Amino acid sequence: MLTKRIIPCLDIKDGRTVKGVNFVSLRDAGDPVELAQRYAEEGADELVFLDISASEEKRKTLAKLVRDVARAIDIPFTVGGGISAVDDVGMLLANGADKVSINSSAVRRPELISELAKRFGTQCIVVAIDAKYLNNEWIVHLVGGKVPTQRRLFEWATEAVHRGAGELLFTSMDHDGTKQGFANEALNKLSQTVSVPIIASGGAGEMSHFLDTFVLGNAAAALAASVFHFKEIEIPELKTYLRQHKISVR
């Protein structure tokens, strides 16, 4: 079994880490630089930084904050939010990001994925997909989950990978912040549909949920926020638990 990754996520709004439920009802979760440093020290495999209001507010991701976080950690670091052009990615990589995550801009102009993959390599490009289960199918949403589209999850995932996405970050809006577990059925289907690693997001509430998404969802990585921010789950204990259940982790 390939080594599974544990990835804390910093959702950033107004320079602070926030967390909500079903993409709304945000509450403050702390200073992003301090949290990032703590996660690196505790053994997180990677870190994801999402400027969640950048697309809605039509502005660029916070370059200085990205730089400050990058200086505080020594693990791979993915940044997303407000990325709409090749130059945006160059700026973020120059400020310390290892990978970038694109979402709304990729759906609106899928050619962006190809442009970024050609310029920076597929290993650098994560396509994030926020989807909600409506009328028996997964519908892709944009702008922090506020705008539904005509896109269907599995069709869009296939196109994104074909265009050059090196990883997919799938967040179930129905599961986000509920702490009831990940959308493992959809995750498993995604992993069978495309050839790139799938990062599970949305729904972590207890250690067994991570085990389930690795076994039942066949996810390559599991991303979570509030359970780590508020120390409901400690990363070292989580990794010990997963090893005890025969999951290969670093």
Query: What Å distances lie between residue 153 and 128, 162, 190, 210, 235, CA to CA?
Result: 11, 14, 9, 22, 30
Query: Which pLDDT value is given to residue 29?
Result: 57
Query: Which pLDDT value is given to residue 233?
Result: 97
Could you tell me if 14 and 189 are in contact, meaning their C-beta atoms sit under 8 angstroms apart? no
Could you tell me if 153 and 188 are in contact, meaning their C-beta atoms sit under 8 angstroms apart? no
Query: Which pLDDT value is given to residue 56?
Result: 45
Using a cut of 0.85, tell me whether the model's pTM lies above it.
yes
Q: Say which of 11, 45, 51, 176 is annotated catalytic.
A: 11
Q: 223-235 burial, b for 16+ CB within 10 Å, e for fewer?
A: bbbbbbbeeebeb
Could you tell me if 105 and 55 are in contact, meaning their C-beta atoms sit under 8 angstroms apart? yes
Residues with Cβ within 8 Å of 13's Cβ and at least 6 positions away in sequence, in order, are: 26, 51, 52, 53
Query: What Å distances lie between residue 217 and 116, 165, 183, 208, CA to CA?
Result: 28, 20, 8, 13
From CA 133, how far away is CA 112, in angstroms rounded? 26
Residues with Cβ within 8 Å of 249's Cβ and at least 6 positions away in sequence, in order, are: 3, 4, 5, 6, 45, 239, 242, 243
The amino acid sitting at 189 is: K
The domain made up of 5-244 has a fold known as TIM Barrel (3.20.20)
138, 144, 146, 151: CA torsion to nearest 10? -30
The H or E element containing residue 91 is helix 86-94
Please state the φ and ψ torsions of residue 150, each to the nearest 5 degrees: -90, 0
Query: Which pLDDT value is given to residue 113?
Result: 98
Domain ranges of the chain: 5-244
The reply to whether 130 belongs to the active site is yes
Residues in the chain with pLDDT values less than 50: 22-25, 55-59
Q: Write out the two tokens for 127.
A: 């396509």
Q: Say which of 45, 88, 130, 212 is annotated catalytic.
A: 130
